[in-house]
Structure 1
Amino acid sequence: MTLSDPPRAALSTLETRHLELVRNTVLRILSTKQAEDVFAEVADGLPTQETAKYKPHCDEEELDDRTQPSARARDLVRTWRSDFDLGSLELESNVISTYQQTPLQAREFKARLIEITAVVIHTLAALLFSHTNHPPYKKPPPKNKIVMVDGWPQVTDELVPSRVPTYLYHNDYLDDDIYPLGIADIAAYWAETHLFGGVVVFYQGDNETELPTDLLPPSSLPLDDKRFLDVYLHPDCRFKVFRLSDAQIDQFVGFGVHGEPSASSPFPLKPERNTVRLFPAIAMSHYNVYRSKNDRKVREIDIARLNWGGRMEDDPQMMELVEERKKAELKQGNDGI
């Protein structure tokens, strides 16, 4: 936890129309089944098999047969959602003031509305975790240490504690020593990821740090249309940070502000085929893509040694080639029957 937290202000200090828009957006999102599932997992302090599927502990005994959150957690979330006074929620004053000072008709207003919505959702998730989980938190158990013997890995009897303090974590947001709510904030970044499709981050303007373009794969070249406060999502498990299209931004805002009760939720959002994708390790330090400087510590990165590997899902062209190859092989097999 930080030694001196920044000043805070309640949502109720916003002017009427600004407050109405963020309140409607947050409540609309919280009313979705996706949000109920995510917040129930926060209350349980445990993910389901689905939300843990890319993590190394996805097959552990505590998660066996856990296909959905507990009924107790669902009931708790529904009660909490109906009773909570959103106007009393306090956020960092700069988030409140920046949103308030942005005119409704300004081009960047949608991004500011998304920003304050993400911060509200994050804060609610952190508070819920704090009230429903208590130390020692549920977390992955120790693992047997593996050492190399004559060039071969060998499992030892020595147990190595888990490096993560809770099952609910995003691999890139583990700096609880700088978070106002500590481990609860770690769980809140996890909640953002599984609700929105990634931690909500923004392009914050030109960065003086220049990244050698000859070291970058084509999908991560510098932004072709640098605009203040472009909106990005930062997924987990080595998936690349990706920029939301204007249509996706409209979906995000429109669902909360104008969405009919029967309208389907756009969340979690996924990257469009030709969107800008950034390597998580350098998104903050080299591209100035983040929400707050205190989201995570910036590590020293040796660009020349950076592992440019990633997930195939982040290369849509390659995915299409693989799919075409599968179809061709299937057709060839059928023709031979």
Structure 2
Amino acid sequence: MESQATQKPADIHDLEAKFQRLSFANLGEGPHRDILTRAIRNVLSTDIAEITLAQIVDGLPLSEVERDAYTGSGYLCGDHPLHKTHKQLCPGALEKARQLYADFDVDSLQISSKLLHEYKISSPGSRAFQTRLIELAAVSIHQIAVQLYKLGTSFHKDDGIATWEPQKDHFLFWHYNPDGAPPTLFQHRQYRYYDQYPDGVADGVGYWAESRIFGGVVLFDRREPGSADDVDPEAVYLHPERKFSTYRIYRLLDSQKRKLSQFLLSEAPLPGTSPLPIFGDKNNRWRVDPEEPVETTGIYRDLWERKPLGKDDPDLRLRDVIDTIDYPAEDDLRQAQERAAIRRERNWLEECNRQ
């Protein structure tokens, strides 16, 4: 099953409205604030959150984490100094990270005014409440990563690792980084549109962090109710970037969403009960093509998070090899390739009209 319904492109005023953010303090006192504060604390208590945020404080991803990408080998060449010198956190990085978010003031978080309102009016225990709690937890972790990055605590400011560039014959590096060393090595390859993010490069780091912690960037069904048969405003999606995982967006199963909600709501999670990070598999049949514009699929969190493929960008849907990780069934591949063919024909017609 796939969700690719067409939706009218967002008006610029809608896009601007989504930039309007309020302090966490606007939740006021009460159960909604208490539950969300506890949910954030529960996520921060996990091993994956601790090691992920410690890398931001350190200033560089670990070598094994950079290699843990959809390509199977990362986006840097094998002799990049990161892989030679950063196999472990720098001494003191983990302790510094623990102290920073132990002292973290949740009221410093900046949240979409619309999201805060939807959360405040939802009834605890309802599907809408659980969905908005998951969204707020993801946004909060994203914002914490943004703030940690902005602190500029990097232990590697003067060693040149982050800005290193190889000779031009290093195909892998220059293939994935044609403009040279990327602004940050904390990167989810499909969330690097820094020029349109409210917090620029720091938001790119935020997407990387939430993807590592949750198992993917956390997305939602933003389509108008009734605009398609499969619209579900309470559905939760993940957009991963890991080795042995799909590059496509997939919808969480009800069981996966339930386990995540229970973990967030838990007053004292037992060791080993965290479902994070969540990994999709062949049972997550509901897929979305990241090649399609977010205005077309309607599956996104913020309209500015991704851009559609450029006309010269490779379209992975046109590969000859049938990959059951990306396409659990042949129908999935056939439908995706049909959409890719439509895109290719549209680009060809536009090119002909320009000549």
Q: TM-score, structure 1 length as denominator?
A: 0.76
User: Is the aligned partner of 1:314 residue 2:333?
Assistant: no
- Percent identical: 28
Aligned-pair Cα RMSD in Å: 3.4
Deviation larger for 247-256 or 86-95: 86-95
CA contact (8 A) 2:164 2:181 kept: no
- Secondary structure of the 1:110 match is helix
2:306 to 296, 312, 317: 296
For 1:186 and 1:72, how far apart are their aligned partners in 2?
Answer: 25
Query: In the TM superposition, what whole-angstrom CA distance separates every residue of 1:172-203 from its partner, at most 9, and x where no partner exists?
Result: 11111121221111111110111111100111
Query: In the TM superposition, what whole-angstrom CA distance separates every residue of 1:24-70 from its partner, at most 9, and x where no partner exists?
Result: 11101101111010001111221112211131216322232533322
User: Is the aligned partner of 1:246 residue 2:266?
Assistant: no
Correspondence for 2:168: 145
User: Is the aligned partner of 1:228 residue 2:237?
Assistant: no
CA contact (8 A) 2:44 2:50 kept: yes
Q: Which amino acid aligns with 2:20?
A: P
Change (3 A) 1:87 1:160: closer
CA contact (8 A) 2:241 2:247 kept: yes
Correspondence for 2:288: 278
- 1:70-219 alignment, distance < 5 Å: 70-133=90-153, 139=162, 141-145=164-168, 161-162=179-180, 164-206=182-224
Correspondence for 2:345: none
Q: Which amino acid aligns with 2:260?
A: F
Correspondence for 2:338: none
Deviation for aligned residue 1:260: 2.3
Deviation larger for 119-128 or 12-21: 12-21
Rg (Cα) greater in structure: 1
CA contact (8 A) 2:165 2:181 kept: no
Correspondence for 2:76: 57
- List runs of 5+ in structure 1 lacking aligned partners: 148-152, 210-222, 319-337
Q: Which amino acid aligns with 1:57?
A: L
Q: Which amino acid aligns with 2:76?
A: H
Query: In the TM superposition, what whole-angstrom CA distance separates every residue of 1:108-145 from its partner, at most 9, and x where no partner exists?
Result: 21111111111100000011011035789953632433
CA contact (8 A) 1:44 1:133 kept: yes
- List runs of 5+ in structure 2 lacking aligned partners: 1-14, 331-355
For 2:179 and 2:297, how far apart are their aligned partners in 1?
Answer: 34
Q: Name the one with the larger strand percent.
A: 1
